[in-house]
Amino acid sequence: MNKLETTYLGLKLRNPLIIASSGLTNSVEKIKNLEAKGAGAVVLKSLFEEQIKMDAGKMVSQTDYPEALDYVNYYIKNNSVQEYLNLIKEAKAAVKIPIIASINCVSSKDWVDFAKKIEQAGADALEVNVYVLPIDRNSSSEKYENIYLELAEKLKKILTIPFAFKLSFYFSNLVGLVQKLNVPGVVLFNRLYAPDIDIDTMKFTSADVFSSPADIRFSLRWVGIISSKVAKVDIAASTGVHDGKAVIKQILAGATAVQVCSTLYKNGIDYLETMTKDIDIWMTKNGYSSINGFKGKMSYDKIDDPQIYERSQFMKYFSSIQ
């Protein structure tokens, strides 16, 4: 087999396949199985501050003593965090692949508190899963971006482990934001909750939580551009990576690693072996003995016509369709 090793956030991965934060990574037993099937690393299921607060709210609503709110909040929060820290410690003791923690918070104070505890628990790295929906018409885009920038600066001051920001593509200047963040890595992109409407019941539901192979279009362009435009940032491509071909495409565009999730729910974790085998076969066929041999070979600054990445209109390619 060819050398599939890569380095992401300073961590040595045996291959570029990282299991994304999900129910696939919420227990030690599942993580052990993922390692056995060939995962390069795992991102633990996120610690969600909102979920902690929701659980506390449910418990308070069941009591006749509203003044117990502070105590319940404290109890739920600390127990939830401790369970997460225990998962980190137990996973680190059980497997050899890197363990990347993930947190999703509402307040910057909790971000900092949780992050430091996660580092102390032994996580190899941290994924910062943050998104603020820009719905205030009186706020500038700069104000929203500053939320991310200020958080990045706070984390730089307290963490010694590497961290990556998991971003959405809803930014007016994504390249500029990544440049200003100046963090070790970014994950492109976050798959956000999307509402749907059931027209029969007239109720809101959730849109499909799984990605499709076609969703690679959301990230491939920006992986290719940012890998060329922003120096010294590792990129993990996420969303739409469903097979070995998609992994190869993202690495050609400049990704250091990829995150997979939906395809494993659909095909089972055994599919990891199929994906790594397909990558190896392609590498042999095309004369590459290592991932670095073709990483970024089709990124923005490596191709003859970089405007391919810039085109946003259909006219040239679909003008003949009636």
Q: pLDDT tens across 260-294, in order?
A: 999 999 999 999 999 999 999 999 999 999 999 99
Q: Which amino acid is at 85?
A: L
Residue 306 has pLDDT above 90, yes or no: no
Q: What is the pLDDT of residue 209?
A: 79
Q: Is the dihedral of CA 127, 129, 130, 133 positive or negative?
A: positive
Q: How confident is the model at residue 107 (pLDDT cuts 50, 70, 90)?
A: low
Q: What is the pLDDT of residue 242?
A: 96
Residue 170 has pLDDT above 80, yes or no: yes
Q: What is the pLDDT of residue 91?
A: 98
Range name among 102-116, 202-216, 304-318 with the lowest pLDDT average: 304-318
Q: What is the pLDDT of residue 53?
A: 47
Average pLDDT (86-100) is 97
Range name among 2-11, 123-132, 256-265 with the lowest pLDDT average: 123-132
State pLDDT tens for residues 229-258: 999 999 999 999 999 999 999 999 999 999
Domains for the chain: give ranges and CATH numbers.
Answer: 6-318 (3.20.20.70)
State pLDDT tens for residues 174-216: 999 999 999 999 999 988 777 889 899 999 888 777 888 899 9
Name the percent of the chain lying above pLDDT 70. Answer: 84
End-to-end Cα separation, the chain, in angstroms: 48
Q: What is the pLDDT of residue 52?
A: 47
Stronger pLDDT, 9 or 71, i.e. the higher one: 9
Q: pTM of the predicted model, to two decimals? A: 0.87
Residue 96 has pLDDT above 60, yes or no: yes
Q: What is the pLDDT of residue 48?
A: 61
Query: Which residues lie below 8 Å from residue 54, measured CB to CB, with a gap of 6+?
Result: none
Tokens of 53: 């607060």
Residue 149 has pLDDT above 60, yes or no: yes
Distance CA 214, CA 242 (A): 9
Mean pLDDT of the chain: 86
Residue 113 has pLDDT above 60, yes or no: yes
Distance CA 73, CA 84 (A): 17
Residue 318 has pLDDT above 80, yes or no: no
Q: Is the dihedral of CA 147, 85, 33, 9 positive or negative?
A: positive
Angle of CA points 90, 93, 96, to nearest 5°: 125
Q: What is the pLDDT of residue 236?
A: 98
Average pLDDT (61-72) is 42
